[in-house]
């Protein structure tokens, strides 16, 4: 099933797409023994997300995406190859978690692999902001993305390394677009008691500086 309005798609070999070893290493000092155990626990309380699909028949028939355990802060995602409605092989697995950071975005490009199980999306948030992000639901949504459609996306990230910095060390942001985004985000969150509204990206796009200080670099 091919969507005529599908975004530009770039396909690379599966072995060159990369794996999720570093993600598992963040969660365990012994992933070789713990990850298989987690995969089993995930199947005890599984969820099969439908993504953008309205009905089960709209979903890809060659792969299942299984998430679990249900109700946990971190989900274990397993993409399983299917033949004749029977599971045949685990293609890949990766952890994910829910994020409170939601934005409106258009999908400009899809970078996927030969098996079409995974992808990185080039997302346009506005005329000044482009983000490349791994898509947790690509195996479910891959036939339904429309380059003309605006989607609500959630952003999260894993921290691979944290280090203590000196008290006098500062990061100065002097890019005008970044300053505007930072000031707008802080003001909007303050007005909404720290909770991101559903139209956060729209409010950020519409926000305008009110004082000379709003144009100054951010530290």
Domain ranges of the chain: 8-154, 176-215
Give me the mean pLDDT over the 3-12 stretch: 86
Residues 6+ apart with CB under 8 A from 193: none
User: Which tokens belong to 12?
Assistant: 């690379």
Residue 2, pLDDT above cutoff 60: no
What ranges make up the beta strands (E) of the chain? 8-12, 63-68, 74-83, 86-97, 102-113, 119-126, 129-134, 150-154
Section 47-72 average pLDDT: 85
Residue 114 has pLDDT above 60, yes or no: yes
Q: Are 71 and 50 a contacting pair, CB within 8 Å?
A: no
Model pTM score:
0.71
Q: Mean pLDDT of all residues in the chain? A: 87
pLDDT tens, 88-99?
888 899 999 888
Judged by average pLDDT, the poorest of 6-10, 11-15, 139-143, 213-217 is 11-15
Cβ atoms 117, 103 nearer than 8 A:
no
Distance from C-alpha of 111 to C-alpha of 29, rounded to nearest angstrom? 31
The C-alpha atoms of residue 71 and residue 67 are separated, in whole angstroms, by 10
118-174: pLDDT as tens digits: 999 999 998 878 899 999 999 999 889 999 999 999 999 888 777 887 878 877 888
Distance, in Å, from the CA atom of 54 to the CA atom of 5, rounded to the nearest integer, reads 18
Respond yes or no on whether the N-terminal peptide bond of residue 69 is cis (omega within 30° of 0): yes
Can you tell me the mean pLDDT for 193-213?
A: 86
């Amino acid at each position: 099933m091919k969507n005529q309005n599908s975004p530009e798609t770039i396909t690379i070999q599966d072995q060159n797409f990369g794996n999720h070893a570093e993600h598992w290493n963040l969660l365990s000092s012994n992933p070789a023994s713990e990850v298989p155990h987690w995969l089993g626990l995930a199947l005890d309380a599984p969820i099969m997300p439908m993504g953008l699909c309205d009905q089960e028949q709209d979903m890809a028939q060659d792969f299942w995406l299984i998430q679990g355990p249900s109700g946990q802060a971190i989900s274990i995602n397993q993409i399983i190859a299917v033949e004749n409605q029977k599971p045949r092989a685990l293609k890949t697995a990766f952890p994910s978690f829910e994020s409170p950071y939601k934005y409106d975005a258009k999908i400009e490009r899809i970078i996927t692999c030969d098996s079409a199980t995974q992808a990185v999306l080039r997302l346009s948030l506005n005329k000044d902001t482009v983000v490349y992000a791994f898509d947790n639901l690509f195996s479910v949504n891959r036939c339904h993305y429309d380059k003309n459609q605006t989607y609500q996306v959630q952003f999260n990230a894993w921290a691979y390394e944290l280090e203590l910095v000196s008290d006098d060390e500062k990061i100065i942001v002097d890019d005008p677009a970044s300053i505007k985004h930072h000031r707008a985000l802080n003001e909007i969150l303050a007005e909404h008691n720290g909770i991101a509204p559903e139209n956060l990206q729209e409010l950020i796009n519409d926000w305008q500086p009110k004082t000379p200080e709003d144009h100054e670099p951010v530290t």
